[in-house]
Amino acid sequence: MTAVITAFERSPDGGRGLARDTRIRWALEEAGQAYEVRLVSFAAMKEPAHLALHPFGQIPTYEDDGLALFETGAVVLHIAERHGVLLPEDAAGRARAISWMFAALNTVEPPILEREMATYMERDRRWHAERLPLLEDRIRDRLDRLSARLGEADWLDGAFSAGDLMMASVLLRLKSSGLLEAFPNLAAYLARAEARPAYQRAFAAQLAVFNGAGA
Amino acid sequence: MTAVITAFERSPDGGRGLARDTRIRWALEEAGQAYEVRLVSFAAMKEPAHLALHPFGQIPTYEDDGLALFETGAVVLHIAERHGVLLPEDAAGRARAISWMFAALNTVEPPILEREMATYMERDRRWHAERLPLLEDRIRDRLDRLSARLGEADWLDGAFSAGDLMMASVLLRLKSSGLLEAFPNLAAYLARAEARPAYQRAFAAQLAVFNGAGA
């Protein structure tokens, strides 16, 4: 059965691939799995039919064979396990890759999202200019540690994993911020991730939606 | 082999159980597993020996049988899988419980932590009083949805799971905020979680550390 995911009818990021459906598309492409996309409007995301799939009224959702999931971390983990991709075969390596998935989502992404939210929602507040450097310091702290750990390696722990997929997806949010430039190994890590054919296909597919070429 | 976790030598929460080692202690107690605790100072957390275990220089860490993990989400998932607890046996139920773990950590916790950080770090800034209601609105949005989904059920999806353990751990951060009171079913959900003997043991163990009774 073909998996069905949901995505923004019109993504607020302008097709830059930052909406979270890109992460699921990427994982499915890494697994060589076809999928269908159902587009939802902002209004429809708050309707009971969508809330039944996603309790917090967001995208993406994932449906496959009677299973309905939300949260990209859980969906990417499910795809990895179901299709035998993106996770090492040994139990210890698998557990470490999952550590990196949670690190991306719970340790690295929150300060990055805070900066994004401040830029969108507090830009006109009188405190924004003074607060922005504080937010960027919090991001730099995380990048500093991540850069030190990555060192000269290609990926965070051996072969490319679901942990790298998620970490790269989070770092993509910083592309226009200028913050990555101080960490050349992280910029190169991100470029390696973006160069993967599976990412390229996922990015093109979400851009096609934004450009009106359909799901 | 007995698992070894790390915890704050002196937790900044004053023994209220909000440091993240409590989550791991709780999961280990649910699994009926003894564990050892190694206390680390703030200075030691930034030293190479600890950074080798936790790339971001935080607690807790988890070591067991040669495996070293960080990120509470990954550790709780590992404990659940290793000891056959806190996850439904059917694959679909298991995947949904993992969705709730990620929802707790990536959707519900970030706005709660933002409010906490603002209260600690921006209390003296001239914008704090004006910004706090914005932060609380973001939290209420999440609680609104969570409350609607929980309804009259005891737990989020069937029996108590790792998803509930993580969601309750996140909601615990709101206990002194006054924000939970508007959602009686969430307050009752949290009280049910706190009443679990495994949580009680975990809470008592971390409090004993704070009170100087050792790990």
Q: Do residues B192 and B205 both lie within one domain?
A: no
Q: How many domains does chain A have?
A: 2
Residues of chain A in contact with residue B134, where contact means CB-CB under 8 angstroms, are 121-122
Q: Which residues of A touch B149 (CB under 8 A)?
A: 51, 55
Q: State whether B24 and B8 are in the same domain.
A: yes
In this structure, the answer to whether residues B127 and B51 fall within a common structural domain is: no
A96 with A191, same domain? yes
Output the pLDDT for position B127: 87
Q: Are residues B170 and B143 in the same domain?
A: yes
DSSP chain A: --EEEEEESS-TT-SSS-STHHHHHHHHHHTT--EEEEEE-HHHHTSHHHHHH-TTS-S-EEEETTEEEESHHHHHHHHHHHHT-SS-SSHHHHHHHHHHHHIIIIIIHHHHHHHHHHHHHSTTSTTHHHHHHHHHHHHHHHHHHHHHHHTT-SSSSSS--HHHHHHHHHHGGGTTTS-GGG-HHHHHHHHHHHTSHHHHHHHHHHHHHHTTS--
pLDDT one-digit tens code per residue, B146-181: 999 999 999 999 999 999 999 999 999 999 899 999
In this prediction, what percent of chain A has a pLDDT beyond 70?
Answer: 99
Whether A163 and A149 map to the same domain: the answer is yes
For residue range B105-155, list pLDDT tens digits in order: 999 999 999 999 898 888 888 889 989 999 999 999 999 999 999 999 999
For residues B120 and B85, which has the higher predicted lDDT (pLDDT)? B85
- Asked whether residue B146 is assigned to any structural domain, the reply reads yes
Average predicted confidence (pLDDT) for chain A: 95
> Within this chain, do residues A111 and A24 fall inside the same structural domain, yes or no?
no
Average pLDDT over residues B92-100: 97
Could you report the per-residue pLDDT of A159-196, keeping only the tens digit for each?
999 999 999 999 999 998 999 999 999 999 999 999 99
The span from the CA of B31 to the CA of B160, in Å, is 13
How many C-alpha atoms does A18 have within 13 Å on its Cβ side?
A: 16
Nearest by CB to A67, from B68, B92, B105: name it: B92
Instruction: Supply the mean pLDDT for chain B.
Output: 95
Which of B47, B98, B134 is the mutation pick for testing A, counting most A CBs within 10 A? Answer: B98
Inter-chain residue contact A105 with B109, CB threshold 8 Å: no
Given this model, what pLDDT does residue A122 score? 86
B102·A145 Cβ contact <8 A: no
Instruction: Give yes or no: residues A35 and A82 share one domain.
Output: yes
Is residue B186 assigned to a domain?
Answer: yes
Residue B57 and residue B27 in contact, taking contact as beta carbons nearer than 8 Å:
no
Distance from CA of A110 to the nearest CA of B (A): 6
Residue A23 lies in a domain: yes
Give pTM, 2 decimals.
Answer: 0.96
Residue A28 has pLDDT above 70, yes or no: yes
pLDDT of B93 over the 80 cut: yes
- CATH code where residue A122 lies: 1.20.1050.10
pLDDT band at residue B76 under the 50/70/90 scheme: very high
Give the CATH number for residue A12: 3.40.30.10
Assigned token pair, A41: 């409007």
User: Which of A74, A130, A134 comes nearest B98 by C-beta?
Assistant: A74
Q: Tell whether B187 and B118 lie within a shared domain.
A: yes
* pLDDT for A36: 98
Tokens (6 digits) for A79: 């795809």
Residue A215 predicted with pLDDT over 80: no
Asked if the structure places residue A215 within a domain, the reply is: no
Indicate whether B50 belongs to any domain.
yes
* Residue B175 forms part of a structural domain: yes
Distance from CA of A213 to the nearest CA of B (A): 31
A23 falls in which pLDDT band (50, 70, 90)? very high
Closest approach of B110 to chain A, Cα-based (Å)? 6
Q: Which domain holds residue A102?
A: 91-196
C-beta separation of A106 from B105 below 8 A: yes
- Tell me, what's the pLDDT at B133? 93
- The predicted pLDDT at position A214 comes to 59
A28 shares a domain with A77? yes
**A172 vs A213, higher pLDDT:** A172
Per-residue pLDDT, B215: 52
Q: What is the mean pLDDT of residues A128-141?
A: 94
Q: Is B45 helix (H, G, I), strand (E, B) or coil?
A: helix
**A75 occurs within a structural domain:** yes
pLDDT of residue A89: 95
Residues B45 and B109 in one domain: no
* Reported ipTM: 0.96
- B123 vs B215, residue with greater confidence: B123
- Assess if residue B215 is contained within a domain: no
Q: What is the DSSP letter of B70?
A: E
Q: How confident is the model at residue A71 (pLDDT cuts 50, 70, 90)?
A: very high
pLDDT per residue as tens digits for the range A80-129:
999 999 999 999 999 999 999 999 999 999 999 999 989 888 888 888 99
Q: B19-22: which pairs have CB atoms within 8 A and are 24 or more residues apart?
A: B19/B59, B19/B60, B19/B206, B20/B58, B20/B59, B20/B60, B20/B72, B20/B169, B21/B59, B21/B60, B21/B206, B22/B169, B22/B202, B22/B203, B22/B206
Best of A46, A100, A106 to disrupt the B interface by mutation (most B CBs within 10 Å)?
A106
pLDDT given at position B123 = 87
Ranking A4-8, A54-58, A128-132, A137-141 by mean pLDDT, the lowest is A128-132
Answer yes or no: do B140 and B204 share one domain.
Answer: no
